[in-house]
Structure 1
Amino acid sequence: MAAKRVSDEPAFILHQYDWSESSLILEVFTRHRGRVALAAKGVKRPTSNFRPVLLPLQPIKVSYTLGAEGNAEIHSLKGAEWMGGHVMPQGDALWSGMYLNELLMRLLARDDPYAALFDIYAGVVRVLAGQHGGTTEAIEPVLRAFELVLLRELGHLPQLSEESATLGAVNSVARYALVAEGGLRQAATHERAALTGSQWRAIELALQTSQPFPKTLHCLAEPEVAQALKPQLRHLLQYHCGSNMLRTRQLMMDLQSL
């Protein structure tokens, strides 16, 4: 029986590692099939046509055959084509894109499709590619909005219009903090990383719209909102990744300290 083939699947390369002297295993985020692993045979050879195509943060189309009647964890890459549209992000935007890739690697199970999340990720990559000389401050709201959408898509984000312990509606002027094991709770007076109930409610409404990313990004237009969200989302993401600090985040901190 001929192996089943997947053709012209929109995709992004999240990660790659050596398989042999001439081949790689690619971790790929596809639109219709989620995260898949592909064996790319011979792509490390100088004559391979795939070398300039199989790059991170670039929109491509891949074709591959499913191994073991679709039950194998690793499939065989048969074709790849750059879809064009933007150049590789540079500087802080590049590091930010690699950080998002690591989040997807850690949090997405294989063969679990998230078409809407794929489209949002593709849009974020386009935004990062357009950040020529962009500052970290300009990129921060983009990252926070994607983190919120990602957590909601994966079911890791509680309702932000109510206190998680009591299920009571948040008070508009009271301040609340998002914690990994307790959800949304009223913040202590000394906690700086907190938002008002009205701010959390606005984010929740944005996440429920048909365009959650741009609507959520709009909620983060004020710098202090994105700044207050950063440590809260960092702890929540770290909790669900179930590991030590993400490599890309540690590298970014190391570079900033040089």
Structure 2
Amino acid sequence: MATRRIADEPAFVLHRYDWSESSLILELLTRHHGRIAVVAKGAKKPSSNFRPVLLPLQPLHVAFGGDAEIRTLKSAEWLGGQVMPTGDALLSGYYLNELLLRMLARDDPHPPLFDVYASAVRVLASDERLTLEPALRAFELLLLREIGLLPSLDVQTATLAAVDPSQRYTLRAEGGLVEAEEGDDRGSLAGGQWIALQQALDDPAPFHATLRQVAEMGELKPQLRSLLHYHCGVATLRTRQLMMDLQAL
């Protein structure tokens, strides 16, 4: 049986770790094949063509082959066009990578999510600090929707009753979108805001449409954090804890 080979596949490196003295195992996000694991043989050697290319948050075209769970990386080409994020933007990129590693099954392609990730990485690389937090919120929303964990935001989840633009609602991990309780304003949004978010998610260019909507929605962050932690099965993501530790120095 012939070994399957894939060429010219858009990809990003999500994570890398040692496999031997000279090789690496890489977790890649690919556009048409989802999250996959590959071995980059000899990638740690000073003379390897892989060495300067296999970096996180950089757009690549890769070729790989094999039918096992861990394929063999045949080639990798850096597409250029953006610089490596630095500082808070770099940590934010690692945060996005951790979300994908925790929430995506291997070999489960999501081409729209790949495009959203590519757009988010471009924002991080632009070093526009005012768009950093909105980019993270937009990505979180679109990730949750793409893998079926985000309820419709224009109806109440339990009753399917239409959201009242003048009332406030909270997004909860187990209950979905519910009416906010008394004194819950910090963790809730007005119904009109939820409706606008749903319209942005349904836009033909959802990342940029959602990015514009979430810019003034600070109350969204704790709600999405709780939802993500619930589905990841952790109290705090490792990259988020690292951010908090650095801010405390």
Matches within 5 A, 1:150-169: 150-169=143-162
- Find the aligned partners of 1:113 and 1:217 in 2 and give their Cα distance: 24
Match of 1:209 in 2: 203
Match of 1:122 in 2: 118
SS of the residue corresponding to residue 162 of structure 1 reads coil
Match of 1:199 in 2: 193
Match of 2:50 in 1: 50
Match of 1:147 in 2: 140
Partner amino acid for 1:243?
V
Partner amino acid for 2:156?
E
Is the aligned partner of 1:228 residue 2:223? no
Could you tell me which runs of 5 or more consecutive residues in structure 1 were left unpaired when the two chains were aligned.
Answer: none
TM-score normalised to structure 1 length: 0.94
Is the aligned partner of 1:254 residue 2:248? no
How far does the alpha carbon of each residue in 1:135-167 deviate from its partner, in whole angstroms, 9 at most, with x for none? 3x5311111011101111110000111111111
How far does the alpha carbon of each residue in 1:58-89 deviate from its partner, in whole angstroms, 9 at most, with x for none? 001111112xxx2x210001111101110101
- Find the aligned partners of 1:76 and 1:220 in 2 and give their Cα distance: 40
Could you tell me which runs of 5 or more consecutive residues in structure 2 were left unpaired when the two chains were aligned.
Answer: none
Q: How far 1:2 sits from its partner (Å)?
A: 3.6
**Contact 2:123–2:131 at 8 Å: present in 1 too?**
no
Match of 2:14 in 1: 14
- Find the aligned partners of 2:69 and 2:170 in 1 and give their Cα distance: 39
Matched residue count: 248
Partner amino acid for 1:93?
A
Partner amino acid for 1:247?
R
Match of 2:65 in 1: 65
Partner amino acid for 1:252?
M
Extract structure 1 runs of 4+ deviating beyond 6 A.
none
2:79 to 83, 90, 94: 83
**Contact 2:30–2:36 at 8 Å: present in 1 too?**
yes
Match of 2:4 in 1: 4
Match of 2:90 in 1: 94
Computed over aligned residues only, the root mean square deviation of the Cα atoms, in angstroms, reads 1.0
The percentage of counterpart residues that share the same residue type is: 62
TM-score normalised to structure 2 length: 0.97
- Find the aligned partners of 1:109 and 1:217 in 2 and give their Cα distance: 26
